[in-house]
């Protein structure tokens, strides 16, 4: 029996030893955890994707601005239409008068304050701009739209905020729902757990969590999503440690920026700052209580309560949060009712992948200068030249035109298209359309695809001719049959599109009607080398061997490169490299790179002026005239159609007002299409121009150029009272003849 | 939802091992105290401090590439210095290459602008006409102010802003040319003047002005013949 008693004796010694070992281990673990908590919290910097901004909208007297565009821009910026403008982010638009309170923005060159302004708009033009009484205001620069980001592999995105950025009622709501005793507890809250348990037992399911915000932060911040029991066990002690080291406000601020609040495709929405933009299209400081309630409600389950996918469920959750506020006496029952009655009204504006083809171009340009890691982690701010309105119109014009062509010619499964729009006189790229859907999936047809340019080359031949000083617009050019022996012994006989020959034609007509034979003959007289040299002066990057077929555009260029060439022609012969970025700054707004205005004379300005006039005639009476189905006759259009063999490619490149644009259409596999330059690309080009603001900067006629009335048939300058065509001439002029040239 | 389970497990632990729990708390408090003492001023992941100083491998060489990828597109004042102190602002970026103070008066058209040349051809240039738009005049004024405080970078940005608003306003080109010339970028200043000339037809004041700037640019580059030719052009518009 004694042995039996001895059997039951507790091994105290062993237990004490065990406890000592456990204590030592526990202590070691604590020291380790403590170091972890502090190291991670002190040393933490979020990886911030680079933010890409559009050009800011600038309002000033004289600015062309359609009401549609104004509404679009304000909507994209998340401005709210109100009856009475009281705070930043609000506007009132009535009877041509815009009352707006801007938000302010830290630009590279200046910090714009939030200001209230009155803008008077009439007939699509800003007529007046007023500020405070007695204050002269000349310019209102709104904040630029965020058009995207450059994301790292994990795609975590956030917009950092501080406690001071929060609107009234935000913290109260967050704490009321998630952690009532936040400012009292030590990181874990036994009362919170008890209350949660009671609530859960009452409800028969889990309705409340007992975690404090500190614990939630620990879970997100230190412990990865791959939860194990071990990690869960660490949560509470780590929360205690965190709480002991840092101020409550510090912890809270990190929590506000860390919390996961949604998923948009691959992009994870972290923090309330970004969530506010993502769900409401507004900065967090402008949110009202019902919006705050929605965001706070999301913490419990961003996917389950996703307001974009499950609006009903999200509204219930939001209303529950509002009810909690009322229950705790933070709002009155009446206020609760008012806010609960409000619709969700989510933002329809996406700040992600809205302009994929343009972003592709931005990324390519940045890759040359910045490392991928810096772009995705350093929170750089990229200020681009994209004009969101022009981009929107370009996308729409392309989609609508392709749809129309499908109706007319039957389904064209392989049809692709691209468009580039830039600003005349400075080369800023305003819009890029990368495929026929207005989207872009992998292959950017505006940048990555080079096709034969066909007749787009002809203006370059004419520029060479006019520059040589041996030709004027009425110089006779022979369009009769032409045979050119080739190096391989064969004979090349270029033909016209209409299969006819037109004898001697005035030079301008050879361009306006796009006669192949006459232009090849003109080009051969000048020399193919000469023409290709002119082309590269204008900004073409490639080099081609000098073959006669080049004179009919047997050379491949991308729409972007074509646009560069026409940009130079539009800018009076001055080359401005096409640019997409104005500035790059660090997150605090310090300048890292500035891309300045570049200009280089690439062609003779007088010759270019004469060429511009020829291109305007293409629009008025030549292959480009169907543009005027979309445009008023008062609008100047100058450009050139291009159609390649078997109608494989349909091009139009040209300029109008302050815009230069190039459109290409063709099949993916370069097979024949039913389209010519005029019936395909030009249609999209003109549809775009019809919706862009048209600014006519007038005609700057060079000093040595004069206009004369002419008789194109006889090639003479005739008296002003005769019927004839008025053309510009530099030093070289046709002879004058009385009798109206008869 | 998920949160409660963690807490219940740790709270049950709490009841079964009160002693251990108390010790744990004590150690927590102690380590907290020690930590607070040892770590000095506790700096959390302060939101406002988005230091780029951590950027490990961006060199100023990379930065320089930012502007050298396309020779024509090179930036005048770019020094993406990612290691640099955060306080360095855009204003501190440029200011280099100023060989000699040329053409200073050009930026003050009201005060009889005139190219300062070594050869005594100091014929006063008539003031340039008012820009067509008030907003342009106000941006030119802001550019002047920026330049006066030595902030060439901002002055250039203001002029570029004006150029975007009024791309065919010769006065903007006149100011840009003067600014670049003063900055020692004579080739660029000449190109800007040439572009300006295409916008003024036969306006005498502007034509004279631009040819004077071109003459100064050529002199700066040591092209005396070119300078003489430009001056003779300028004289035609007096």
For A7-51, what is each residue's pLDDT tens digit? 677 788 888 889 999 999 988 888 888 888 888 788 767 778 899
Mean local confidence (pLDDT), A699-722: 92
The pLDDT assigned to A11 comes to 82
Q: Is the pLDDT of residue A581 over 90?
A: yes
The reply to whether residue B163 touches residue A38, judged by beta carbons under 8 angstroms, is no
The pLDDT assigned to A441 comes to 66
In chain B, CATH 1.25.40.10 sits at 104-236
A35 or A229, which is more confident: A35
The CA distance from A630 to A566, in Å, is 21
Following CA atoms A719, A723, A724, A725 in sequence, which dihedral angle do they give, to the nearest 10 degrees? 100
pLDDT in tens, B103-132: 333 333 333 333 343 333 333 345 788 888
Going from N- to C-terminal start, the domains of chain A cover: 2-43, 51-148, 151-340, 392-691, 706-741
Mean local confidence (pLDDT), B161-176: 96
Q: Tokens in use for A347?
A: 């933002």
The reply to whether residue A246 touches residue B58, judged by beta carbons under 8 angstroms, is no
CB of A234 less than 8 A from some CB of B: no
* Residues 497-536 in A contacting B (C-alpha not used; CB under 8 Å): none
Q: Is residue A640 within 8 Å of residue A407, measured between CB atoms?
A: no
Percent above pLDDT 90 for chain A: 72
Mean local confidence (pLDDT), B72-88: 29
The pLDDT assigned to A518 comes to 98
* List A102, A276, A422, A455, catalytic entry: A455
Residue of chain B whose alpha carbon sits nearest to that of A228: B6
The question of whether A455 is a catalytic residue gets the answer yes
CB of A22 less than 8 A from some CB of B: yes
Name chain A contacts of B74, Cβ cutoff 8 Å.
598
Other CB atoms within a 10 A radius of the CB of residue A299 amount to 21
Percent above pLDDT 70 for chain A: 95
E strand or H helix at B147, and its extent? Answer: helix B134-148
CA distances from A553 to A125, A309, A407 (A): 41, 51, 30
pLDDT in tens, B11-51: 333 333 334 444 444 434 433 333 333 333 333 333 322 22
Name chain A contacts of B57, Cβ cutoff 8 Å.
371, 373
| Three-point CA angle A543, A544, A548, nearest 5° | 150
CA distances from A518 to A482, A524, B27, B51, B144 (A): 9, 10, 95, 64, 53
Q: Is the pLDDT of residue B140 over 90?
A: yes
The CA distance from A655 to A330, in Å, is 61
Q: Is residue B174 within 8 Å of residue B209, measured between CB atoms?
A: yes
The pLDDT assigned to A166 comes to 95
CB of A26 less than 8 A from some CB of B: yes
What is the CATH T-level fold of the domain A392-691, as seen in this structure?
Answer: Beta-lactamase (3.40.710)
Residue of chain A whose alpha carbon sits nearest to that of B156: A596
Other CB atoms within a 10 A radius of the CB of residue B85 amount to 10
Q: Is residue A502 within 8 Å of residue A525, measured between CB atoms?
A: no
Which residue of B75, B154, B207 is in closest CB contact with A109?
B154
Shortest distance between the Cα of B170 and any Cα of chain A, in A, equals 11
The CA distance from B134 to B126, in Å, is 20
Q: Is the pLDDT of residue A615 over 90?
A: yes
The CATH class for the domain spanning A151-340 reads mainly alpha
A135 or A506, which is more confident: A506
The pLDDT assigned to A209 comes to 65
CA distances from A24 to A30, A217, B27, B115 (A): 10, 28, 11, 83
Shortest distance between the Cα of A632 and any Cα of chain B, in A, equals 23
Q: Is residue A653 within 8 Å of residue A689, measured between CB atoms?
A: no
The CA distance from A595 to B86, in Å, is 21
The CA distance from A333 to A339, in Å, is 10
* List A112, A178, A258, A614, catalytic entry: A178
The pLDDT assigned to A676 comes to 94
Shortest distance between the Cα of B225 and any Cα of chain A, in A, equals 20
The reply to whether residue B27 touches residue A27, judged by beta carbons under 8 angstroms, is yes
Best of B1, B2, B3, B149 to substitute, by most chain A Cβ atoms within 10 angstroms, is B3
pLDDT-derived band at B96 (thresholds 50, 70, 90) equals: very low
A683 or A203, which is more confident: A683
Shortest distance between the Cα of A371 and any Cα of chain B, in A, equals 7
Q: Is the dihedral of CA A648, A654, A656, A662 positive or negative?
A: positive
The reply to whether residue A584 touches residue B80, judged by beta carbons under 8 angstroms, is yes
The pLDDT assigned to A156 comes to 79
The CATH class for the domain spanning A51-148 reads alpha beta
The pLDDT assigned to A206 comes to 60
The pLDDT assigned to A199 comes to 74
Q: What are phi and psi of A741, to 5 degrees?
A: 85, 0
Mean local confidence (pLDDT), A420-445: 90
The pLDDT assigned to A291 comes to 96
A203 or A313, which is more confident: A313
The reply to whether residue B80 touches residue A233, judged by beta carbons under 8 angstroms, is no
The reply to whether residue B82 touches residue A702, judged by beta carbons under 8 angstroms, is no
Q: Is the pLDDT of residue A539 over 60?
A: yes
Q: Select the CATH number that applies to the domain covering B104-236 from these four: 3.40.50.800, 1.10.10.10, 1.25.40.10, 3.30.750.24.
A: 1.25.40.10
Name chain B contacts of A215, Cβ cutoff 8 Å.
3, 6-7
CB of A135 less than 8 A from some CB of B: no
Mean local confidence (pLDDT), A723-739: 93
pLDDT in tens, B200-218: 987 899 999 999 999 999 9
pLDDT in tens, A267-326: 889 999 999 999 998 899 999 999 999 999 999 999 999 999 999 999 999 999 999 999
Q: What are phi and psi of A174, to 5 degrees?
A: -60, -45
The pLDDT assigned to B30 comes to 37
Average pLDDT, chain A: 91
């Amino acid at each position: 029996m004694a042995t039996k008693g001895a059997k039951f004796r507790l091994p105290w010694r062993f237990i004490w030893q065990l406890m000592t070992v456990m204590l030592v281990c526990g202590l070691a673990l604590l020291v380790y955890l403590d170091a972890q908590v502090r190291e991670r919290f002190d040393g933490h910097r979020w990886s911030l994707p680079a933010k890409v901004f559009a050009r800011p909208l600038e309002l000033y007297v004289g600015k062309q601005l359609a009401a549609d565009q104004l509404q679009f821009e304000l909507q994209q910026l998340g401005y709210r239409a109100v009856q009475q403008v009281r705070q930043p982010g609000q506007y009132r638009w009535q009877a041509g008068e815009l009352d707006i309170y801007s938000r302010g923005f830290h630009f590279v060159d200046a910090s714009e304050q939030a200001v209230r302004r009155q803008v008077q708009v009439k007939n699509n033009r800003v007529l007046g701009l007023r500020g405070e009484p007695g204050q002269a205001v000349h310019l209102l620069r709104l904040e630029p739209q965020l058009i995207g980001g450059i994301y790292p592999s994990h795609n975590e995105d956030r917009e950092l905020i501080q406690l001071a950025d929060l609107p009234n009622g935000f913290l109260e709501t967050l704490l009321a729902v998630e952690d009532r005793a936040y400012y009292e507890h030590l990181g874990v809250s036994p009362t919170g757990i008890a209350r949660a348990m009671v609530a859960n037992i009452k409800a028969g399911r889990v309705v409340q969590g007992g975690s404090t915000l500190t614990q939630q932060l620990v879970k997100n911040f230190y412990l990865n999503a791959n939860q194990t029991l071990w990690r869960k066990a660490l949560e509470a002690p780590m929360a205690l440690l965190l709480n002991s080291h840092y101020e409550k406000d510090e912890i809270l601020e990190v929590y506000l920026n860390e919390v996961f609040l949604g998923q948009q495709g691959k992009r994870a929405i972290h923090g309330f700052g970004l969530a506010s933009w993502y769900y409401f299209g507004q900065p967090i400081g402008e949110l009202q209580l019902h919006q705050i309630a929605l965001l706070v409600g999301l913490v419990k389950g961003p996917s389950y309560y996703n307001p974009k996918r499950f609006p009903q469920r999200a509204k219930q959750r939001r209303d529950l949060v509002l009810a909690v506020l009322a229950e705790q006496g933070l709002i009155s029952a009446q206020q609760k009712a008012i806010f609960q009655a409000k619709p969700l009204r989510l933002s329809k504006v996406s700040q992600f992948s809205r302009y994929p083809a343009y972003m592709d171009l931005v990324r390519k340009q940045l890759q040359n200068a910045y490392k991928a890691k810096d772009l995705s982690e350093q929170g750089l701010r990229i200020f681009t030249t994209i004009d969101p309105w022009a981009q929107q119109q370009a996308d729409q014009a392309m989609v609508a035109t392709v749809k129309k062509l499908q109706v007319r010619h039957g389904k064209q499964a392989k049809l692709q298209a691209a468009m580039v729009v830039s600003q005349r006189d400075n080369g800023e790229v305003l819009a890029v359309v990368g495929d026929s859907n207005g989207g872009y999936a992998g292959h950017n047809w505006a940048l990555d695809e080079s096709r034969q340019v066909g007749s787009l080359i002809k203006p370059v031949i004419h520029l060479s001719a006019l520059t040589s000083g041996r030709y004027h617009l009425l110089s006779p050019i022979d369009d009769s049959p032409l045979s050119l022996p080739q190096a391989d012994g064969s004979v090349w006989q270029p033909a016209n599109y209409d299969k006819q020959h037109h004898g001697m034609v005035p030079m301008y007509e050879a361009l306006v009607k796009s006669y192949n034979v006459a232009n090849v003959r003109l080009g051969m007289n000048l020399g193919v080398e000469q023409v290709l040299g002119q082309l590269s002066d204008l900004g073409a990057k490639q080099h081609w061997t000098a073959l006669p077929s080049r004179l009919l555009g047997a050379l491949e260029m991308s729409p972007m490169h074509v646009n560069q060439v026409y940009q130079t022609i539009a800018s009076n012969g001055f080359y401005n490299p096409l640019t997409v970025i104005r500035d790059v700054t660090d997150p605090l707004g310090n300048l890292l790179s500035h891309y300045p205005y570049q200009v280089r004379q690439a062609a003779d300005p007088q010759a270019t002026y004469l060429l511009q006039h020829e291109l305007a005639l293409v629009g008025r009476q030549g292959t480009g005239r169907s543009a005027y189905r979309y445009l008023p006759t008062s609008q100047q259009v100058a450009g050139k159609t291009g159609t390649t063999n078997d109608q494989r490619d349909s091009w139009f490149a040209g300029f109008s007002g302050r815009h230069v644009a190039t459109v290409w259409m063709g099949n993916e596999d370069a097979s024949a299409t039913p389209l010519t330059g005029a019936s395909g690309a030009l249609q999209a080009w003109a549809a775009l121009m019809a919706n862009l603001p048209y600014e006519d900067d007038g005609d700057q006629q060079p000093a040595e150029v004069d206009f004369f009335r002419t008789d194109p048939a006889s090639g003479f300058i005739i008296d002003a009272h005769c019927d004839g065509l008025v053309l510009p001439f530099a030093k070289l002029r046709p002879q004058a003849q009385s009798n109206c040239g008869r | 939802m998920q949160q409660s389970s963690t807490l219940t497990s740790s709270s049950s632990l709490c009841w079964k091992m009160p002693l251990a729990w108390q010790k744990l708390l004590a150690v927590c408090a102690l380590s907290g105290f020690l930590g607070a003492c040892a770590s000095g001023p506790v700096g959390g992941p302060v939101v406002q401090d988005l230091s780029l100083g951590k950027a490990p491998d961006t060199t100023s060489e990379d930065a320089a590439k930012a502007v050298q990828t396309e020779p024509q597109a090179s930036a005048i004042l770019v020094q993406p210095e990612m290691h640099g102190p955060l306080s360095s602002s855009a204003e501190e970026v440029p200011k280099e290459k100023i060989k000699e103070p040329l053409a200073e008066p050009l930026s003050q058209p009201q005060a009889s602008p005139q190219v300062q040349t070594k050869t005594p051809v100091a014929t006063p240039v008539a003031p340039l006409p008012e820009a067509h738009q008030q907003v342009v005049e106000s941006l030119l004024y802001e550019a002047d102010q920026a330049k006066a405080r030595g902030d060439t970078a901002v002055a250039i940005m203001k002029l570029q802003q004006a150029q975007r608003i009024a791309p065919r306003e010769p006065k903007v080109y006149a100011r840009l040319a003067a600014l670049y010339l003063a900055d020692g970028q004579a080739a660029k200043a000449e190109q800007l003047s040439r572009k300006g000339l295409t916008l003024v037809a036969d306006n005498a004041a502007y034509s004279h002005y631009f040819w004077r700037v071109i003459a100064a640019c050529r002199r700066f580059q040591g092209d005396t013949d070119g300078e003489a030719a430009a001056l003779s052009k300028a004289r035609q518009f007096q």
